[in-house]
Amino acid sequence: MDQNVIINKKLECENNGKLLPIKHKTKFFVGFFSYVIIFVMCFPYLLYKFQYFNVLGAYMPNLDLIANILTWKGGPFDIWKFLYPLPVVTFYGYTSQTLINYLSLLGVTFLVAKETKRTNSIHKGWSIALIMLLMTYLLPGRAVSWTMDNIYEIIKKNYNIHPSVILSLTTLFGALITILIILSEAILLRSYKTNLGNIANYILKIPKFFLK
């Protein structure tokens, strides 16, 4: 069974769908704020400082993917178990997931606004969203979790390895997938902006075609 489902079913039994017990509230707050400090503030600052602007542009909209990986692993003392739960059964899980999704979408809208201002073109700015919303928000999250669940089960069934080692290997695999997604987005945004702009321009012209 999906690890996140197991976690949330356990929580649902413990609190009957209400707020988290005190012992889990502390983990939730420590996990959420450590996530914000490390992954929302420190990593972007380092990328900015060393001028990896293309990677930074692809990184910020993928904050939800990073939270998804951390939740699957749980982190030290399971502080990230409640960070980005799928499905959501508690108020804290809902709040955390909503804020993380909000930050990710802000990253996309910033890129769209920046490109629109730089090119003075609505369709060129909007073209960023064509690829970013699919690759950062709509497609990868559940797919990555599903892949990690299956990798975990395959290793567990076929190899006599300690569960903690399997968990670490699976998390590493998920992290590599996330890194590849971020890097591929950075390459696409850098190399195919013109093509994306043309596609967006054609889409925006469709209503005019029917109004003729």
Mean per-residue pLDDT of the chain: 81
Res. 15: pLDDT tops 60? no
Res. 196: pLDDT tops 80? no
In whole angstroms, what is the distance from residue 44 CA to residue 55 CA?
Answer: 9
How many CB atoms are located within 10 Å of the residue 21 CB? 11
The first and second tokens of residue 157, run together, are 């069934």
Q: What residue type is 60 in one-letter code?
A: M
| Cβ contact 14:23 at 8 Å | no
In whole angstroms, what is the distance from residue 37 CA to residue 28 CA?
Answer: 14
pTM value? 0.77
> Please, how many CA atoms are within 13 Å of residue 30, restricted to the half-sphere of its CB?
14
| Cβ contact 88:28 at 8 Å | no
> Structurally, how many domains does the chain consist of?
1
Domain carrying residue 176: 3-211
- pLDDT value at residue 19: 54
